Amino acid sequence: MRIVNVNKILIGFVFSIILCQDELIHISKIHYDGTPREVIIYQRVNDDLKSNNPFTIIETLKYDSKGNYIRPPLTGEARNIENWIIGKWVRENSKEGTYIQFYKDHYKVYEEGSLNEDDSGEYYIIQNNTETNIVYMEKNKDWRTSQIKSNNRNQFILDSRIIFNRIY
Q: What would be the CATH architecture of the domain defined by 76-166?
A: Beta Barrel (2.40)
Contact in structure between 103 and 121 (CB atoms under 8 Å): no
DSSP 1: -
Half-sphere exposure of 6 (CA within 13 A, CB side): 3
Domain ranges, ordered by start, for the chain: 20-70, 76-166
> What is the pLDDT at residue 158?
94
> What is the pLDDT at residue 48?
82
Task: Report the 10 Å Cβ neighbour count for 101.
Answer: 16
> What is the pLDDT at residue 54?
86
From first to last of its 168 residues, the chain has per-residue pLDDT tens of 555 555 556 565 555 555 556 788 888 898 999 889 999 999 888 888 888 888 889 889 999 999 998 988 899 899 999 999 999 999 998 888 899 999 999 999 999 889 999 999 999 999 987 899 999 999 889 999 999 999 889 999 999 999 999 998
> What is the pLDDT at residue 168?
83
Helix (H, G, I), strand (E, B) or coil at 61: strand
